[in-house]
Amino acid sequence: MNIGQAFKMAISSVISNKMRSFLTMLGIIIGVAAVIIMVALVQGTTNDITSRMESMGTNLINVTLTGRYSSVNLDMDDMEKLVEGNPEYFVSVAPSINGNVTAKVGTVNENTSLLGTNQHYSTILNAEVESGRFITEQDVAGRKKVAVIGKYIANHYFEGEDPLGQSIKISGQVFTVVGVLKAKTTNISQNSQDDRIIIPYSAAQRLLRNAIIRSYSFQAASKEVAEKASEKLEELLLSLLGNENAYNVMNQAEMLETVESIMGTMSLMLGGIAGISLLVGGIGIMNIMLVSVTERTREIGIRKAIGARRASIMTQFIIESIVVSGLGGIMGIIWGMTGSYLLGKFTSIPTSVSVSIVILSAGISAGIGIFFGWYPANKASKLNPIDALRFE
Amino acid sequence: MTSALIRIENMYKIYKMGDSEVRALDGVNIEIHQNEFVSIMGPSGSGKSTLMNMIGCLDTPTSGKYYIDGIETSQMRDDQLADIRNRKIGFIFQSYNLLTKLTVLENVELPLIYMGKSRSERHRLAMQAIEKVGLSGREHHRPNQLSGGQQQRVAIARALANHPPLILADEPTGALDSKTGKEILEMIKEIHQSGNTVILITHDEQIAQTANRIIRIQDGKIFSDSEVGQA
Ligand SMILES: Nc1ncnc2c1ncn2[C@@H]1O[C@H](COP(=O)(O)OP(=O)(O)OP(=O)(O)O)[C@@H](O)[C@H]1O
Ligand SMILES: [Mg+2]
């Protein structure tokens, strides 16, 4: 039979059963929307992490001390000695002590993240100041209460005033702002990379009551030696600590790979869960198509009596099923894209809708129509005309 | 003598229900020629509809042979039978059997769609058939907006649309009052006069007399087959 005719009939049948069609579609709508949103979330997060990492300095090697498996405790002095002893591999090292603190300026009193480090951090991790200065060697040595603040803090806490030279209360202790960092993100929001305070690690150790530093960032001498430098570092740490579980060395390339592989797995997992809801949606379509075939047994009988071939009946029902799942797919895409957009806009979770997933879900939903419509359509096409005509 | 349009040879249709069996057709032999007008008569349960289903290729016999236009149909596949119904037979049912969601025009176009006619050809032939049954102007109505007699006329238009040689009518006036029934019967007569072979199934003696030949059937067997007026 004429395909256009079949489409027309399918659409009028969908319209004449609006509520039922919508409920049937809902499974597909939710499934498709879920796939799109899930993948957009993972994709957005991946992009975000990758760009954060790429915005960090190059030639970066991160060392984490686990604090177990070894009786030896390495501190900042030991790390500096490693750098000095191997100038062909390393340029500098910056420690990191992280903590969550409350920061107060005037009436603004909010949580923010605190980082204690030294003067090298700025170059190793690309934390450039926009105004004022970064932490200096003297600040560290003198355990000075000075702070370099992120752009969000500067904007939000100081409300247009120049923060340089002003006081900020961090966990109850007064620090002086000596520098403002360049913005790292475009929308400069809370909990972003721009919402943070950097102070000398020596001051941070006291403030956070945390004497042991477990995280260090080394800068390799050049991109070319980065790989070798990270191997060398592992070798040195092994000889110092005596156990390879006592530390963890990771260079930037490895970190990127790790992130991408984790996100790939996440993508598959979330996509898989969303895929299951698509499957359930498909079964819903099959169910309603079977009901439709039964309800329309007499119609099928009449059509066969006046000369419809099997293929004509089959086409009619398959197209109806495709129309239902296809409309569901389109609505699902709209819901999914809107949902991703709203999530990205109103939460701090980044999202990025990928065109390939949209195309894929459109294809899948049409495919579901064919796949799950097949059995009912086939059943309809095989009805014996006389049995179908007698059906009341 | 012209070759038979329909030939039924030794046809049986047996329904088995547990231990008992119903012989709806019990060794039937019939030959019907081009442009005959035949009534098939018999009391309720005698096997008329069963016979009509066989002639209409809607059902297959338990045994026996059935030729339509010289073609033997008992070994045919579903789709081949569908094509025969489409091209050679026009059905008029007691309960009209129109598709309620389609308009008059769309109903009449259906057999033309399945025949594979082009859109314009479909439209032309359907409009022609609708005019023939006197329903011009009602093309875009739905069956439930029409009276019973009008609905049966739509069914007649649908049966005629493809210009099949054989028109099969099973109790076409059964659901209508006597006046409307007569109109429908007149229309069927005209169809015969315009060259079609018509088989009319009825249990009403008077209606049966409209035809030129009456085949009487009882308990699945033919017990008389005579020209009208010969007694
Ligand atoms: N599908 C079936 N299963 C079992 N028995 C059937 C079936 N169809 C018809 N029969 C039986 O076959 C016999 C003939 O039925 P048929 O419908 O041909 O009668 P009919 O002459 O058309 O009667 P009516 O005038 O009431 O329409 C009846 O005894 C009926 O019960
Ligand atoms: Mg009957």
Q: What is the pLDDT of residue A2?
A: 67
**Beta-sheet pairing, B213-218 with B221-227:** antiparallel
Instruction: Show the DSSP H helices in A181-309 as ranges.
Output: 201-207, 223-241, 252-295, 297-305
Record the pTM: 0.71
Which residues does A334 contact at the CB level (< 8 Å), separation at least 6? Answer: none
Distance of CA B219 to the CA centre of its chain: 21
Task: Answer for the pair B168, B91: CB distance below 8 angstroms, yes or no.
Answer: yes
Query: Does B53 contact ligand 1 (Cβ within 6 A)?
Result: no
Identify any residues that bridge with A180 across adjacent strands, giving them in sequence order.
A131, A149
Q: What is the pLDDT of residue B231?
A: 45
Of A16, A309, A389, the CB nearest to B79: A309
Distance of CA A110 to the CA centre of its chain: 26
Q: What is the pLDDT of residue A4?
A: 80
Among protein residues, the one with the nearest Cα to ligand 1's atom 3 is: B15
Q: Tokens 């102007």 — which residue?
A: B137
Residue A112 dihedral angles phi and psi, to the nearest 5°: -150, 175
Residues of A in contact with B91 (CB under 8 A): 305-306
Note the CATH architecture for domain B35-61+77-227. 3-Layer(aba) Sandwich (3.40)
Q: Please determine, for residue A75, whether its predicted confidence score (pLDDT) is greater than 60.
A: yes
Q: Tokens 């179908």 — which residue?
A: A388
The verdict on a CB contact (< 8 Å) between B97 and A389 is: yes
Q: What is the pLDDT of residue B1?
A: 43
Range of lowest pLDDT (A312-316, A348-352, B7-11): A348-352
Spell out the long-range contacts of B121-130 with Cβ–Cβ below 8 A and sequence spacing 24 or more: B125/B161, B125/B162, B125/B163, B126/B157, B126/B161, B129/B157, B129/B158, B129/B160, B129/B161, B130/B104, B130/B105, B130/B154, B130/B157
When pLDDT is averaged across residues B41-55 and rounded to a whole number, the result is 93
Mind telling me how many Å the CA of B1 is from chain A's nearest CA? 31
Q: What is the pLDDT of residue B199?
A: 96
For residue A90, the number of C-alpha atoms closer than 13 Å in the C-beta half-sphere is 24
Distance A294 CA to ligand 2 centre (A): 24
Which residues does B157 contact at the CB level (< 8 Å), separation at least 6? Answer: B104, B108, B126, B129, B130, B132, B133, B135
Atom number of ligand 1 nearest to Cα B43: 25
| Alpha-carbon span B69 to B166, nearest angstrom | 10
Express each pLDDT in B59-98 by its tens digit.
999 999 999 998 999 889 999 999 999 999 999 998 999 9
Mind telling me how many Å the CA of A7 is from chain B's nearest CA? 14
Note whether B85 contacts A: Cβ–Cβ < 8 A.
yes
Q: Please determine, for residue B3, whether its predicted confidence score (pLDDT) is greater than 80.
A: no
Tokens of A224: 């070319």
Task: Answer for the pair A224, A230: CB distance below 8 angstroms, yes or no.
Answer: no
Q: What is the pLDDT of residue B133?
A: 93
- Ligand 2 (single-atom ion) residues, CB below 5 Å: B 49
CA angle at residue A208 from A203 to A213, to 5 degrees?
75
Express each pLDDT in B7-33 by its tens digit.
999 999 999 988 899 999 999 999 999
Full DSSP string of B138-151: -TT--GGGS-HHHH
Percent of chain A scoring above 70 in pLDDT? 98
Chain A residue with CA closest to B86: the answer is A307
What SS3 class is residue B104?
A: helix
Distance A312 CA to ligand 1 centre (A): 30
Q: Give the domain ranges of chain B.
A: 35-61+77-227
Query: Does B202 contact ligand 1 (Cβ within 6 A)?
Result: no
Q: What is the pLDDT of residue A56?
A: 67
The verdict on a CB contact (< 8 Å) between A310 and B85 is: no
When pLDDT is averaged across residues A231-237 and rounded to a whole number, the result is 88
Mind telling me how many Å the CA of B83 is from chain A's nearest CA? 6
When pLDDT is averaged across residues B111-132 and rounded to a whole number, the result is 94
Distance B134 CA to ligand 2 centre (A): 28
* Residue A173 binned pLDDT confidence (cut-offs 50, 70, 90): very high
Pick from B49, B218, B221 the residue to mutate for probing ligand 1's pocket: most ligand atoms within 8 Å of its CB.
Answer: B49
The torsion of the CA quartet B89, B95, B96, B97, rounded to 10 degrees, works out to -80
Q: What is the pLDDT of residue B64?
A: 94
Q: Please determine, for residue B230, whether its predicted confidence score (pLDDT) is greater than 80.
A: no
| Alpha-carbon span A95 to B55, nearest angstrom | 95
Tokens of B199: 């088989």
**Beta-sheet pairing, A60-65 with A215-220:** antiparallel
The verdict on a CB contact (< 8 Å) between A306 and B91 is: yes
Express each pLDDT in A214-229 by its tens digit.
899 998 888 778 888 8
Which site among B110, B121, B167 would you substitute to test the A interface, given the most A Cβ atoms closer than 10 Å to its Cβ? B110
* Residue A160 binned pLDDT confidence (cut-offs 50, 70, 90): confident
The most confident of the ranges A122-126, A198-202, A262-266 is: A198-202
Q: What is the pLDDT of residue A352?
A: 85
Environment class of B178 (CB within 10 Å of its CB; exposed 0-12, middle 13-18, buried 19+): exposed
When pLDDT is averaged across residues A333-340 and rounded to a whole number, the result is 93
Please choose, from the candidates A380, A383, A386, A387, the residue with its C-alpha nearest in 3D space to the C-alpha of residue A314. Answer: A380
Express each pLDDT in A114-125 by its tens digit.
999 999 998 888
When pLDDT is averaged across residues A166-175 and rounded to a whole number, the result is 93
Distance B217 CA to ligand 2 centre (A): 12
The most confident of the ranges A153-157, A197-201, A237-241, A245-249 is: A197-201
When pLDDT is averaged across residues A306-317 and rounded to a whole number, the result is 91
Tokens of A368: 């579901």
Mind telling me how many Å the CA of B189 is from chain A's nearest CA? 22
Atom number of ligand 1 nearest to Cα B51: 18
Percent of chain B scoring above 70 in pLDDT? 98
Residue A388 dihedral angles phi and psi, to the nearest 5°: -65, -40
Of A2, A299, A307, the CB nearest to B86: A307
Express each pLDDT in B151-203 by its tens digit.
999 999 999 999 999 999 999 998 889 899 999 999 999 999 999 999 999 98
